[in-house]
Amino acid sequence: MYRWGDGFGGKEGMRILQPGILDDKSALDNLRPALEMFIEDRVKWISAVEGLAQHEGMPPP
């Protein structure tokens, strides 16, 4: 459901959410993202998520 790595601050750093089919759809209710990355590649018909930091690439560590 998510991944982490040294580039994201290690095990205690950022998590990259990989949403998909879930047995419990409410599981994502407590996992609201904090930012959006690679926004220059977002398709034009999808708007930014209100309240999230926007980054053109990887956010600073």
| Positions of the chain with pLDDT under 70 | 1-11, 13, 15, 17-23
What does the alpha-carbon distance between residue 61 and residue 41 come to, in Å, rounded to a whole number?
A: 21
Structural domain includes residue 31: yes
Q: What are residue 57's DSSP bridge partners?
A: none
Q: Which domain does 56 fall in, by range?
A: 25-61
How is residue 4 written in tokens? Answer: 């982490």
pLDDT score of 54: 93
Q: How many domains does the chain have?
A: 1
pLDDT score of 11: 65
pLDDT score of 45: 92
**If you compute the radius of gyration of the chain from its CA atoms, what whole number of angstroms results?**
13
Structural domain includes residue 1: no
Structural domain includes residue 9: no
pLDDT score of 55: 92
pTM, 2 dp: 0.49
pLDDT score of 34: 85
CB-based contact 15:1 (threshold 8 Å): no
